[in-house]
Structure 1
């Protein structure tokens, strides 16, 4: 309804009032410090989760399931949305952001366990997740309820997306790739809205991550060390 758009426009007017001078240094170009790949879930406020209000600081990508993979005529490749800042703006830090209770991971889990009938567009997205999550579904610990199984697979999916980036020849070796999970459902025992580091350049051991990245400290946490 038009009232929804009007509400958005009112919010934009307040945004414009606040940001009048914040584009001065980036009006003619960008050199973002990080590129994030988030799930497009409406509960994941991409800039807000970092407390970011500086234009030009974070290059944000979003899709269901925080995927880094796209299909091309030549086969699977790193998504151009993500690759652009790496190749064209000098960005050397990638953060793959999963979140608790992810609907895309849930749909993929249902597709793998019970079958799922979705429109072609959604089926395409799930099809990019299926081959990466299938081994995780088979390896899930016994006795998990549905919600817990999904949150285990959220971590597993983040790991697989990080792995794809690290294995790609299109991503330079000096680019750091981190995997995190955003928790707004009290899954990790911290505060709602906290980000928990689960992967750093392919390393997933909590003990090792805390030893090699001591500044991260308690922000390193995993539900599943498989």
Structure 2
């Protein structure tokens, strides 16, 4: 067996020792407070980024590009990963988590600008991102660098995912939908691993968001108000 798996099992043994009693209240059911949709990038630590060590608190979903959309026989729908806790466990908050330097956004940008050849599974994922990022690519200022373009599109992608959720009949109107960007590249500041709020229920204007949410005004920041 690969040494990495052995290391994982050893770490899991420590985890099991620590968590013996933490499953007492959630062994038979769950009522998570929030569902997060993160990019499945190894640098995005889905629970640890929130300091979460409580089973049953956060329902985590992960895929490349933090997508909330899946393609079905009847058309596009809210991904079942996201919809399940809203539909069945009473979860009333959705957080869409983008991150700086996102590889899926980068690949989509490259595909839209220069064309790209990827294996079928990856191409399928990009095909769900491309129609949502195309208008963003077209709107980018001509003087931005490639890195700046990617990170602006990270925000734009979060916005489009939230837009899809808001417009979907599958998501009740009372569900709060928040968009954030996880920064480990010193793009928004010097605190690596900090989360920055970029969208709340479709609103992206920073000053309006800060006025409406004064308790978190220092955490609200955007690179691009298009």
Q: TM-score, normalised by structure 1?
A: 0.99
1:111-150 superposed matches below 5 A: 111-150=111-150
Report the equivalent of 1:57. 57
Report the equivalent of 1:42. 42
In 2, the alpha carbon distance for the partners of 1:159 and 1:187 equals 18
Gaps of 5+ in 2: none
Report the equivalent of 1:194. 194
In 2, the alpha carbon distance for the partners of 1:72 and 1:174 equals 25
Report the equivalent of 1:97. 97
Q: TM-score, normalised by structure 2?
A: 0.99
SS at match of 2:42: coil
1:1-226 superposed matches below 5 A: 2-226=2-226
In 2, the alpha carbon distance for the partners of 1:180 and 1:133 equals 17
In 2, the alpha carbon distance for the partners of 1:191 and 1:197 equals 14
In 2, the alpha carbon distance for the partners of 1:141 and 1:224 equals 10
Q: Deviation string for 1:91-147 (max 9, x for gaps)?
A: 000000000000000000000000000000000000000000000000001211111
In 1, the alpha carbon distance for the partners of 2:33 and 2:147 equals 34
CA RMSD of aligned residues (A): 0.6
Alpha-carbon offset, residue 190 of structure 1: 3.9
Alpha-carbon offset, residue 189 of structure 1: 1.3
Alpha-carbon offset, residue 57 of structure 1: 0.2
In 2, the alpha carbon distance for the partners of 1:190 and 1:173 equals 36
Q: Deviation string for 1:33-80 (max 9, x for gaps)?
A: 000000000000000000000000000000000000000000000000
In 2, the alpha carbon distance for the partners of 1:188 and 1:199 equals 15
Moved over 3 A (4+): none
SS at match of 1:215: helix
In 2, the alpha carbon distance for the partners of 1:65 and 1:175 equals 22
In 1, the alpha carbon distance for the partners of 2:173 and 2:182 equals 26
In 1, the alpha carbon distance for the partners of 2:89 and 2:25 equals 15
In 2, the alpha carbon distance for the partners of 1:219 and 1:27 equals 35
Aligned length: 226
In 1, the alpha carbon distance for the partners of 2:11 and 2:223 equals 37
In 1, the alpha carbon distance for the partners of 2:205 and 2:214 equals 13
